[in-house]
Amino acid sequence: MTLKEIEQALLVDPKFPFKLPRVQSTVNVVQICGPIIDIVDGYVQFVHFTVREYIFSTKIQSSMTLSEMALDLTIRCVVYMCQDHHDPGLTEDGINANILWGAYRLHHFSSSFWLDLVHEYLRLSGSETIPDALIDQLRILLGTRSSDTYTQSDQSKGSLHPTILGLEDQEPALVEMLKGYADFQTSLSKSDFQINNREFVDPEIR
């Protein structure tokens, strides 16, 4: 993640989902975390792979788990996309005002990777159920961001984790939304246009 994305993600509070993540100042992550991390081209990264192994080692007291980290980030991304700055009914003036205060720092990351993070949590945890906190937030996402013009996905079920598919009887609309987004991701990956493809960047702003 970029430093700007991390700064905004830290301000998204699932306990207070309507509180807008306004970044007031730059976070000095190197000062906070110490020499174990570095910032390269705007991206925060560990200085060496052994740091990552140490931090997430189960042999270390109070160590973090990758699955918990993935779940926390997933929920933050979904909460963020449900906030007012992503309301489909926003006017152009409203969107411009949001841009000015930096509302969309986290947009590309959250909209691109939230489903990947769900899969990553399930893979890392080995869980056969999805936590209630995540299901509740996904229901809100479905209720606030679903499209009336959406057509049912013909995406193969093989693209979704079995645990997600296991919800189909209890949460058919939720699973359909996830299938639809997986379908969108597949279509996007096959598209000629990629947001980070420098071939499509205006040469005047490189």
For each successive 10 residues of the chain (206 residues), what is the average pLDDT? 93 93 82 85 88 79 84 97 94 95 95 96 95 96 80 64 94 93 82 52 34
- What is the per-residue pLDDT for 198? 41
- What is the per-residue pLDDT for 176? 92
- Range 192-195, long-range pairs (CB < 8 A, 24+ positions): 195/108
pTM for the whole thing?
0.83
3-state secondary structure of 145: helix
26 contacts 7 by C-beta, under 8 angstroms: yes
- What is the per-residue pLDDT for 204? 38
Quick one: which of 125, 26, 32 has its CA closest to 71? 125
pLDDT digits (tens, 9 = 90+) for 171-204: 999 999 999 999 888 877 776 655 555 443 333 3
Indicate the residue type of 40. Answer: V
Percentage of the chain with pLDDT > 70?
86
Residues 6+ apart with CB under 8 A from 157: 165, 179
- What is the per-residue pLDDT for 189? 74
Q: Tokens at residue 131, please?
A: 């936590």
Radius of gyration in angstroms for the set of CA atoms belonging to the chain, rounded to a whole number? 18
- What is the per-residue pLDDT for 145? 85
> How far is residue 134's CA from residue 14's CA, in Å, rounded to a whole number?
10
